[in-house]
Amino acid sequence: MTQGRQIVRALLVVTLATQALLVSSLVLTRLRPSLRIWPPPSRPARQFYFTWVGFWVHPSGAFLLAILDWNSLAVSGWIRFGLGIPLIVLGQILISRAFRALTLHATLGLGGPFVRSGPPRAPRRAAAG
């Protein structure tokens, strides 16, 4: 195995492990509220830094993997770009709208007013059935 493949494999392991830790912390929060990870109790709390370092590591790792492992799956460019670019644009639009509706403070998990309009309204409506 070349050194480049070893770097890609190590980066993949770190990215997947970070995602697994974040998902596990959310499951733990749900099952044992006394051990709450999300939302963090305050900004200087260790839960705040654990969560937000993880939320920066996993997309950064995915981005680096996309660059370092470019075109390793023999998938047609039409499929990659025809689906990928619209999905990226749509995701950025939705994220921007949600951040704007929730405010940065609430997006960081530090509380804020209950938001009754905008993108956060849709999941609540679906859950209410």
Each residue's pLDDT tens digit, 46-89: 888 888 899 899 889 999 998 888 877 777 878 888 888 899 89
Which tens digit of pLDDT belongs to each residue from 10-24? Answer: 999 999 999 999 999
**pTM as predicted:** 0.66
Q: Is the dihedral of CA 114, 116, 119, 123 positive or negative?
A: positive
Q: Is the CB of residue 38 less than 8 Å from the CB of residue 21?
A: no
Nearest in space to 94 (alpha carbons), one of 73, 126, 119: 119
In this prediction, residue 42 has a pLDDT band, given cuts at 50, 70 and 90, of confident
H-helix segments, the chain: 3-31, 46-68, 77-107, 121-128
